[in-house]
A and B are shown apart, each in its own frame.
Chain A
C-alpha cells in the first residue's frame, strides 16, 4: 500500500482523505469474484434475506425453510441477496487529443490525460480501498494494455504505475480497442470509460460499448472536456496544429468562435445522446474543475 502511495505522483492521499468514506456504488447488481458489499446478481443462502418463493424442486434444499414446511406443510425456499465485490475496469483513452491542455500557456486547466490520470488514480485507490477490484485498459486505436481487475495492493501499485506512465499516441479511432477489451473481459463488472470522444469512429465506439451493456456491464462514461476546447483560446491569431496528424490551420479564433462553439456543442450533445441511448451513465467532466470535486460528485451521484 505504502509503495503505491509513494510511487504515483498522481496520488495525493491528503486530498483523498476527504473522500475515504465514499464508495464507488453501482446502480445495478453486479457479478464479483468475492464476497463484498455490492449486491450480487446471485441470490443464494447467505447474505441478507429478501423473500420467500415456492419450492419448485430445483432449488438447493439447503435453502428450504423447514420450519415453514413443518408448520404449514408447504415448501418454501428462503431467498437471500448475495453481496459481492466490484470488478471495475478503468478504460482510459490515450489518443493524441487527450494531451490537449498540456501546453504551458494553459494554466487554467490541466491536460485531459493528466486529469484522467489523477482521476483514475484516485478512483482506483478508492475502489481498492473499498475492498473492490479495479482493472485498467489503455485505449488508442487498439487496446494498448489491459490490466484485469485486482484488489491487491500490489495490483494497485502496478496499476498506478501503468497510469503514471501513460503517454498519448496519435490515433483517431477507439472502437477496435474497446472490442478487444470486451473480448478479453471474462467477468461482468463496471466499465468506467474516460475519454474526450474526439475520434472519427464515434458511432463505432458506442456500438462497442453496447456490447458491454448487452453483457450487463454497467458502463459509466466520463466525457473529458478542456475549457479551451469549448470556446477556443483568446487571442488574435493562432496556428492550430492537429494532435492526431490532422495538419495545421492558421486562423483568428474570434472570426469563427461562434460557429466553432456551435459545432463543439453539437459534438457534446451527440456523445451524450449516444451514451444515454446505450444505457450508459454519462458525465461531462471539465478539466477546469478540480478532479477531487469531479470525483466526489461522481461518487455521490452514484451513491444516490
Chain B
C-alpha cells in the first residue's frame, strides 16, 4: 500500500494527538475549593466514575480515530504494487505503448469492446511529460509503429490512437517484441534513459503463451495492461471449412466445418452454408469448450472455382466477426494424364500399358474416358507437360538434363509426378530430379541400381501403412490383398538420415522401398519401385484402386490449404495453364472488384500478379479483409483463394499475466494491471475512510447521548 500524499500521514499522526491536546489545553483549571460534603461527592463519583471513564475513553478513541481516518483519506492510500510506468515517475524515459488491435480485441464485454477499454488505458500513457519520448505500436499480424522512433509528438500519437481500429488479424507477439526491441534499443552507450514497454491487450492464451520478451534491451520495464474480463467471454466461431474432394464434377463432396464453442454450456447452433447460389441451413449442437466438426454433403454440378461461406445465425456472442468464414473450392474436371515412356503404345503387355489402362478406366462428367497421353521423353515439351494434371514416368530411359529440369520445375510448381522405377537409369534420373527439386520435396529414401547378383524377384510387401492412402482403401482385406502381391524389378534403396519415414508407404521384404509418396506445400512426387510388367500387381484387382488412390493423393494433396489469413502474406503460385499476368486480373469474387485496403486504394498496390520463372505468382503482403478473392482471365476464373480470420483469435481465453507475466518477461521487471476489473490501482479507499470518519463522529455523538444523565 502506498500513499499519494504522504505528508498527510505525518500531519494525521500529529493531529491524532489533537483531541488529547485539546482536552488538556481546554481542560478547565480546577478551582480549589474546600467542601464539607466530600463524602457524598465521593460516593456519587464512585458510582459514576466507571461509566464516565468508559464514556471519556470511548469519545477520545472515536475522536482520535476520526482524525486519523480523515488524515488517511487525505493521504489517498493506494493498494497493490506501484506501477512501473506512470506519470508520477520523473526522469528521462523512452516508452513504447503496444496496443493490441488483433481481431479478438473486437470482442465485447457488457457492450464495451475490448479495444475501447484498451484505447482509454493507452491514452494515459500518451501524456506529455518532460524527458519522455513515446511511440505507439498497433499490434496485429505486423506491429505498425506510428513513428520510426519514439517521439514527443504526443498530439499525433493520440490522434493515431483515436483512429486505431480492430484489424481482422491475429496478434503476432514475436513481431511486437522485435519492433519494440528496436524502439527501445539504446541509441548510444551513454543512453541511460528508463525504458518502458506498455502492452495493452486481452492476452489471449493462444497468442501469448509462448511469448518471449528476453530479447528486449536490458533494463526494460514491462507493464501488462489487460483489458480482458476475469471470466472468459462466450464465443462461438467457425474455425475452419474443408472440402473432402473425393468426387469430381457430377459427384459429391463432404464439406467439413469446424465449429468452436467457447462457452461453458452446450449450445445449439444454426448454420447457413452457402456455396455459389446454393444454400443449406443446418442445425447442430456444440459441446462446451471444444470444437465440433459438422459435415454436409455437397453435390457438384459444374467444374471450376466457387466461393462460399459458412455463417452461424442467431448467435449472440462476444465476437461477431468469426461467426462467418469464407472459403473457396475448386471443382476440378477429370484430370489429364501424361505418361512419359520409351515403351511404344503397341507394346502389350507392358508396364506403361498397365498404367494407361488403369487410368483410362475413369470417365469424365460427360461419360467419356479421361485423356491419357503417351509421349517419348525425347519429344517432351513444356506445353505438353503443362497440359497434363499428372505426369507419370515409366521406363523413360536416361532423361537428358533439359527434361529433368523441366520435370523438376513442374514438381516445384505443384505438378504431381508419379515415377515407376524399374530400370537402372531410373535411379540416376530420380537422383538428378531430386537434386534439382531440393529440400522442398524431402524424399525419405535414396534409390540405387540393383546390386549385381542379388535377385529382385518375387518380393513381398513386408510392411505397409495400412491407415494411409493408398492401402487404407482395402480396409480389413488389406492382409489378403497384400499377401498375394509379388513384385519384381525395381531399385535398391537405403533410408536417408534425418528424414521421416512417414512417406514410406510400403517396404519389401528385402528392406527396400516399395511405394513412396512425398507431398509438400511445393509439390508432390511418388515412386512405385517395381516393374509392373514383371510383377503380378497389375494383374490383380488391387492395382486399379491402389493406383487410383495414389494418383488421387498426388492430384489433390494441397486441397484445403487455399484459405489465407488476414494480415498475413499471401503467396500463390498460379496454375501453369493460367497464363501470364498481363492477361489476368485479381478481383473480389463477392463484390466484383478487389479492394485491398480500407482507403479504397487500387488493388495492385498491395496485391500483385507477377510473372516469374516458374510461372505466374500472386503476391499479397497483407490481405486486409476476409473474403474470397480470385484471378480471372477474361470472364473465366482461373484461381481463387479465401482470406479468413485466424482461428486463434476466436479462442478468447486469456492468459493469467499476473502469474505468467514475469516468466514471459525473460528477466525484465514487470507489472500487471487489469483494466477490466476497475483498471486503476485501487485508490478509492479514501471514500471508505471518510465514511469511517463520519461514522466515528456519529458514534461520538451517540456515545454522548447514551451516557447523558
B1-57 residues at the A interface, CB under 8 angstroms = 27-45, 47-48, 52
> A256 with B48: in contact, given A238-B30, A239-B31 (CB under 8 Å)?
yes
Query: In the bound complex, do residue B33 and residue A103 qualify as a contact, i.e. CB atoms below 8 Å apart?
Result: yes
> A103 with B41: in contact, given A237-B29, A256-B48, A259-B47 (CB under 8 Å)?
no
Return chain B residues, CB-CB under 8 Å to A244: 36
CB of A263 within 8 Å of the partner chain:
yes
> Shortest Cβ distance from A276 into chain B, in angstroms?
22
Query: In the bound complex, do residue B38 and residue A246 qualify as a contact, i.e. CB atoms below 8 Å apart?
Result: yes
CB of B635 within 8 Å of the partner chain:
no
A213-237 residues at the B interface, CB under 8 angstroms = 226, 229, 232-233, 235-237
Contact with B along A89-117 (1 / 0, CB 8 A): 00000001111100101000000100000
Return chain B residues, CB-CB under 8 Å to A242: 34-35, 38
Contact with A along B339-365 (1 / 0, CB 8 A): 000000000000000000000000000
Query: In the bound complex, do residue A238 and residue B48 qualify as a contact, i.e. CB atoms below 8 Å apart?
Result: no
> Shortest Cβ distance from A198 into chain B, in angstroms?
5
**CB nearest to B47 among chain A residues:** A259
CB of B709 within 8 Å of the partner chain:
yes
> A250 with B709: in contact, given A240-B38, A242-B35, A255-B48 (CB under 8 Å)?
no
**CB nearest to B32 among chain A residues:** A239
Bound-state Cα–Cα, A249 to B39, Å: 10
Bound-state Cα–Cα, A250 to B29, Å: 10
Contact with B along A252-293 (1 / 0, CB 8 A): 100110111001100100000000000000000000000000
Query: In the bound complex, do residue A103 and residue B34 qualify as a contact, i.e. CB atoms below 8 Å apart?
Result: yes
Give the residue of B28, B30, B36, B40 whose beta carbon is less than 8 angstroms from that of A263.
Answer: B40
Bound-state Cα–Cα, A103 to B52, Å: 29
Query: In the bound complex, do residue B31 and residue A235 qualify as a contact, i.e. CB atoms below 8 Å apart?
Result: yes
Bound-state Cα–Cα, A229 to B41, Å: 10
> A238 with B33: in contact, given A249-B41, A259-B47, A259-B48 (CB under 8 Å)?
yes
Return chain A residues, CB-CB under 8 Å to B709: 255, 258
Bound-state Cα–Cα, A198 to B36, Å: 7
B352-392 residues at the A interface, CB under 8 angstroms = none
> Shortest Cβ distance from B372 into chain A, in angstroms?
122
Query: In the bound complex, do residue B33 and residue A260 qualify as a contact, i.e. CB atoms below 8 Å apart?
Result: no
**CB nearest to B42 among chain A residues:** A249
Query: In the bound complex, do residue A96 and residue B30 qualify as a contact, i.e. CB atoms below 8 Å apart?
Result: no
> Which of B41, B43, B47 lies at the interface centre, i.e. has the most chain A CB atoms within 10 A of its CB?
B41
> A233 with B33: in contact, given A258-B709, A259-B47, A263-B43 (CB under 8 Å)?
yes
Query: In the bound complex, do residue B44 and residue A246 qualify as a contact, i.e. CB atoms below 8 Å apart?
Result: no
> A243 with B35: in contact, given A237-B28, A237-B29, A255-B709 (CB under 8 Å)?
yes
> Shortest Cβ distance from A288 into chain B, in angstroms?
15
**CB nearest to B29 among chain A residues:** A237
Query: In the bound complex, do residue B30 and residue A243 qualify as a contact, i.e. CB atoms below 8 Å apart?
Result: no
**CB nearest to A172 among chain B residues:** B39
Query: In the bound complex, do residue A229 and residue B37 qualify as a contact, i.e. CB atoms below 8 Å apart?
Result: yes
Query: In the bound complex, do residue A239 and residue B44 qualify as a contact, i.e. CB atoms below 8 Å apart?
Result: no
**CB nearest to B30 among chain A residues:** A239
**CB nearest to B709 among chain A residues:** A258
> A237 with B30: in contact, given A100-B35, A249-B45, A259-B47 (CB under 8 Å)?
yes
Return chain B residues, CB-CB under 8 Å to A83: none
Return chain A residues, CB-CB under 8 Å to B42: 246, 249
Bound-state Cα–Cα, A235 to B33, Å: 11
> Shortest Cβ distance from B4 into chain A, in angstroms?
42
**CB nearest to B39 among chain A residues:** A246
CB of A201 within 8 Å of the partner chain:
no
Query: In the bound complex, do residue B40 and residue A267 qualify as a contact, i.e. CB atoms below 8 Å apart?
Result: yes
Query: In the bound complex, do residue A100 and residue B44 qualify as a contact, i.e. CB atoms below 8 Å apart?
Result: no
Return chain A residues, CB-CB under 8 Å to B28: 235-237, 252
CB of A12 within 8 Å of the partner chain:
no
Return chain B residues, CB-CB under 8 Å to A232: 41
> Shortest Cβ distance from A252 into chain B, in angstroms?
8
Query: In the bound complex, do residue A264 and residue B40 qualify as a contact, i.e. CB atoms below 8 Å apart?
Result: yes
Bound-state Cα–Cα, A290 to B38, Å: 26
Query: In the bound complex, do residue A260 and residue B32 qualify as a contact, i.e. CB atoms below 8 Å apart?
Result: no
> A256 with B45: in contact, given A99-B34, A237-B28, A238-B31 (CB under 8 Å)?
yes
> A250 with B41: in contact, given A198-B36, A229-B36 (CB under 8 Å)?
no
**CB nearest to B37 among chain A residues:** A229
> Shortest Cβ distance from A10 into chain B, in angstroms?
21
CB of A13 within 8 Å of the partner chain:
no
**CB nearest to B35 among chain A residues:** A240
Query: In the bound complex, do residue A241 and residue B36 qualify as a contact, i.e. CB atoms below 8 Å apart?
Result: no
CB of A132 within 8 Å of the partner chain:
no
**CB nearest to A265 among chain B residues:** B40
Bound-state Cα–Cα, A198 to B43, Å: 14
Return chain A residues, CB-CB under 8 Å to B32: 238-239, 241
> Shortest Cβ distance from A185 into chain B, in angstroms?
28
Return chain B residues, CB-CB under 8 Å to A240: 33-35, 38, 41
> Shortest Cβ distance from A86 into chain B, in angstroms?
32
Residues of A within 8 A of B (CB): 96-100, 103, 105, 112, 196, 198, 226, 229, 232-233, 235-244, 246-247, 249-252, 255-256, 258-260, 263-264, 267
3 A-B pairs with least C-beta separation? A97-B36, A100-B36, A239-B30
Q: List 25 A-B contacts (CB under 8 A).
A: A97-B37, A98-B36, A100-B35, A103-B33, A198-B37, A198-B39, A229-B36, A229-B37, A232-B41, A236-B28, A237-B31, A238-B33, A239-B30, A239-B32, A240-B33, A240-B35, A241-B32, A241-B38, A242-B35, A244-B36, A255-B709, A256-B41, A259-B44, A259-B47, A259-B48
